[in-house]
Structure 1
Amino acid sequence: MRIVIAPDSFKNSSSAICVAESIEKGIRRVKPDTQIVKVPIADGGEGTVDAILIGSKGQKVTLQVQGPLGKCVEAKYVLIDKETAFIEMAEASGLQLLSNEERNPMETSTYGVGQLILAALDRGVSRIVLGIGGSATNDGGVGMAMALGVKFLDKTGQLIPVGGKGLAYIDRIDKSEIDPRIARTEFKVACDVKNPLCGPEGATAIYGPQKGATPKMVQYLEKGMQNYAKAVGHLLEGSSYHEVPGAGAAGGLGMGLMAFCGATLHSGIDTILDMVQIEKYLEEADLVITGEGNMDGQSIYGKVPVGLAKRVEPFNVPVVAIVGGMGIGATKVYDHHIQSIMPLTNRPMVLEEAIENVDILLQDAAERMMRFIEVGKHLN
């Protein structure tokens, strides 16, 4: 039997590659000689750069950049080949880089993302793919654009403050000194968020609070976003980028990448599956095991397990999922080529206990699943 293990990470618990390794251990308790291929998957958020590195067998490049609050952090990106780089914005500006007390979208910036872009350009690439999930920012990608050479000026002609607080000060945008290589580079964004930049479904209203914004901050940041959209419209002669679904992704970084880099937005999971060339692993597979931290009715909308299952279906290979928990509507995935769901908990337990014991729980769940599969083979 040849099994492909291709899970997402279990958020705040275990990375995708660790999940895959735990599942493998459980399988080998039952079938020690099984041929197993591990392909960790992500959808553009935290951990995607590691999944791309493993799946594409690319080259890891590490450098120091500004973190979300301006302190230096070590970030990495992947050179897929001589022409293509993959950048995960969360490496430079991710929420995981901050403590709960440090979360403050008035201050956080995407400047480090721009530094990663410049570093990739210095390697001579002509195509950059960015995963933009997991951000700590709400600056509309202004920090990123600043790093690329764009100037955001207030009414006195001075540079605006960094972070989300600066958006309200923008009076004029000068892109005359933007790095000329930007215009010669293709930018593709892996993004499954459909929020516009502004409004009740926009970046600030929906995601600001989880990044540390108080109700008062949300009001201020929303006005800043509206001012920013207006300024970009003046710069780009009536541009409506702020209305594009996904413009509000990563605190408006989606908007910034479209406006200043000419980026196009694409399905996160499909982009990642293409980059790891998932089909080459499926051609000889007998079973695919995927998984995520929580499977519910929303899992059919752009999440890793269902996105993967759609790619598996033409190969007529069964897909099963090992998950941290099953929420309301989880069984909807049965209509999307996932044949079975195996929760990892084996008794009632609080979340903290499950997180602490995730490795052994995943092994046990994988063992139970394989034993059911062996029973099925005998019934056949």
Structure 2
Amino acid sequence: MEVGVRELAAHPGCAFVSGLCRYIAADGSPILRLEQERVEGDPHIELLRAGPILVPAVMYRRSIFDTVGGFDESYRAAEDYALYYRVASRFPIHLHDKLVAEVRRHDGSMTRDFPLMLRSNLGALRTQRRYVKGNRRHEEAYRAGIRFWRDCYAFLTVAQTRTRFEKREWLAALRGVLALLQYYPQGLPLLANGRGIERRKATRWLDSRKQELRISEVQLRDRRRRLHALIEESGDNERQVEELKDILSDERRKVQGLKKRIRRRSRRLQELDRDTQPGLTHRIRRISGRIGPAESGMPAAIPTVALLPWGNVLEDYLDMIGLSLDDFLTAYRGTWMFGYVDALERVGVRTVLVIWSRNV
């Protein structure tokens, strides 16, 4: 709290200040791969882009609530972000680099309800669409924020929803389907693809553990250098040397364990890659090989289809839903067309989407 008060005093024009948090596991041990990064640049831009604020690290100026109101209780989750966005769209904020809190992650936390988190965080961010419109930097940050929250929760929502179907938890599964339908419709076909979900899970797990391994290896090297420096120093430091040796031993075991787990999961991922060639994909690739160029060494043709979704100009549709052409081309995924494109891509068919625009 002292840090928050000091930062508010140092930035009298800011509505709130926020610092850094350390993620810890249920047993209190630090989670290295989730280390929060320091924020550089415009705080409002970064808030839109990647939501780098956690509740325990925030301190508000009391008077700000008289202007913007408090938490929106209609949200079941992400009401904190709804408030951050509302404040930051009207007042300056400051993000400092002081560590001020710890956030414990455990299986019983609300953030493990992935459909809820997907729906709530994207819903909160979408309230900013009208505020960012017309400002190129804010629009780019807004689109990056959409991608960020989808990366965080969209696939996890798919996997959790499929699990709930398998467990016959129908109501929870329906909530997952509705969240996907509204915020990530291209994920709906994945619900029927158990092997594809397992592969994505393995890939995400590997990426996370490889990052953890890199951090652990850096720490191991730093501690080795520290140990060598202590040994070379003269003086009564035997106790420090022994303590550091014990820490190094634990760190080496951790690194070795991570490497073994990564190797096992990598082998499993290779098995999945070998086994994810369904009959239809295989037949399409055989056909594409036959119709490809006859010259030796030339690549086989890729089966390609054109998708013509309508005959009128695209803007007639976009105007009805309040979407710009740029948003449609770069960020929008909420239509059946992209479901077709994704499904065809999974069986080796390239899709060319043909649309008419009055602006092109």
Give the TM-score taking structure 2 as reference length.
0.25
Larger helix proportion of the pair: 2
Q: Which has the higher contact order (CA 8 A, sep 6+)?
A: 1
**Which of these two proteins has the greater Rg computed from alpha carbons?**
2
